[in-house]
A and B are shown apart, each in its own frame.
Chain A
């Protein structure tokens, strides 16, 4: 293993994040505050409680997941797209760096960034609502798995994209709707049965459900199903990335 290269890529990607630390963190913090004002105060005053948890506290895990998903994808997709776009990818390809090492560097950095942002949102939330984390270990595990899985997914998008529009389109058309419809702001049990069944096809439901369980022990689906599905998505993304590197798809002509 060329660990020096892994560390170099990871550090390089993180440096970009820290160079713009203020912008990187201020926007998720502001949107979290806005969500609390809009959903927590306006809607929360009518809903008050879901499964015994105040509405404001209920949406915290969903808000964090929402950020983790969008941040992981945008960080990772941009991270690999940019060297492709600027041409500097030549150096990674001509260096003694394996596919695995590249993934560790790029995806590791994207996941680390989104986890940092997730933790900042968690801290921000604690100012507004009483947040409890009943199962910190599971909370961290879900955070890690989700961040890694969606960073891998973002990496794939970044490899596939040959223009800035393509970089935006998947997050916009697929991820945002799936997240909003995935129970970030409600329990899917409040939906009519038909839509509850439709929701079960939404992978994000499992992520949010498991994550919320680690906070409050309330969930839409059982913990083991959540965990199992999260691993399934992780494996799908890993397989796709492995295939991409084996064929050189969109990286090498």
Chain B
């Protein structure tokens, strides 16, 4: 079995009547890093909460390693570590006490050496005996990650892990995440920052208004990102493109006032000089020229707007 998590026709309607998840089906592969992308309010946290047992589903099913997450919740929850979006911590406790508590809550025997290793990786070791309330926001986020890892989960959910987090922590965190993935841990992270998905993920899912609108390998998405566009603003509108320019992949836009040249940088160097020479030879005057990249952001915005 290659899927560690199978989500089947999952729907969630809150008591308010709000339809937060709409018939979501999704398989998470064992050992991958999956980025769940979507604007605020799309349903990312709701989806994670249903999988982890914090929110009740309305219909559908969630299987973790083949176990139903409701009827066999002990088996599924033991495998899962959750880093919540908000800094939910008890401020009067020390870092050490809270991660020891987390491990016990998940039914695991004490293993101080392992917990210290986690603190080390998260650069938290010197804060071991600090009260959580005295730590900065970034440090609190690290403590949440340490808590989630305390019981050696095989699946880790990170809900907007880098929201409001400094660059240093972001780097630390990615190193930890990569290390986990190398040890076979499956990671699902949500974000509304595209760079985050670009940097880390193997696959990307886009959720909008409670529906999964796209699930794709990141490399496939990146290919689309390789698309660039050069636009010439013409001095005088054209009725049609001259035959001479037919060998270029051109489009006439804005009532003939713009020529747009699409090319793919991943397929070799574009012949921009040749295009401009031919345009000049055809006696077409242009007043401006600019290029644009088709980013994941564009793809994403295009999808979400639909």
Contact = CB atoms under 8 A, between A and B. Distances in A.
Give the interface size bracket for B toward A: 20 to 34
A94 B88 contact: no
Nearest to B109: A4
A177 interface: no
A88 B132 CA distance: 13
Contacts of A90: 54, 82, 84, 88
Contacts of B33: none
A93 B69 CA distance: 12
B107 A96 contact: yes
Contact of B106 (A5, A19, A86, A88): A5
B233 interface: no
Contacts of B53: 93-94
B55 interface: yes
A8 B90 contact: no
Nearest to B157: A94
A8 B88 contact: no
B80 interface: yes
B interface majority secondary structure = loop
B90 A95 contact: no
Contacts of B78: 96
A16 to B, nearest CB: 8
A contacts with B: majority SS: helix
A252 B55 contact: yes
B74 A2 contact: yes
Contacts of B104: 4-5, 7-8
A7 B75 CA distance: 20
Contact of B147 (A5, A91, A248): A91
A89 B90 CA distance: 10
Given A88-B89, A96-B78, A4 B52 contact: no
A12 B84 CA distance: 21
Given A90-B84, A91-B147, A253-B14, A97 B105 contact: yes
A87 B82 CA distance: 14
Contacts of B73: 96
Interface string B39-68: 000000000000011111000000000000
A11 to B, nearest CB: 9
A4 B107 CA distance: 5
Given A90-B88, A96-B77, A252 B54 contact: yes
A28 B14 CA distance: 44
Interface string A98-118: 100000000000000000000
Contacts of A86: 88-90
Interface in A1-36: 2, 4-5, 7-9, 12, 19
A89 B89 CA distance: 10
A2 to B, nearest CB: 4
B105 A252 contact: no
A128 interface: no
Given A9-B105, A95-B106, A253 B15 contact: yes
A201 interface: no
B174 interface: no
Contacts of A4: 104-105, 107-109
Contacts of A164: none
A88 B15 contact: no
Contacts of A8: 101, 104-105
Nearest to A105: B105
B102 interface: yes
A94 B90 contact: no
B86 interface: yes
Interface string B224-237: 00000000000000
Interface in A127-183: none
B15 A5 contact: no
Interface in B3-54: 14-15, 52-54
Contacts of B84: 87, 90
Interface in B99-143: 101-102, 104-109
B52 A87 contact: no
Nearest to B15: A253
Interface string A236-253: 000000000000100011
Contacts of B92: 19
B109 A95 contact: no
Nearest to B88: A87
A123 B282 CA distance: 107
B88 A253 contact: no
Contacts of A88: 88-90
Contacts of B106: 5, 95-96
Interface of A: 2, 4-5, 7-9, 12, 19, 83, 86-98, 248, 252-253
Interface of B: 14-15, 52-56, 73-75, 77-78, 80, 82, 84, 86, 88-90, 92, 101-102, 104-109, 147
20 contacts: A2-B74, A4-B104, A4-B105, A5-B107, A8-B105, A19-B92, A87-B84, A87-B86, A90-B54, A90-B82, A90-B88, A91-B82, A91-B88, A91-B102, A94-B54, A94-B82, A97-B105, A252-B54, A253-B15, A253-B55
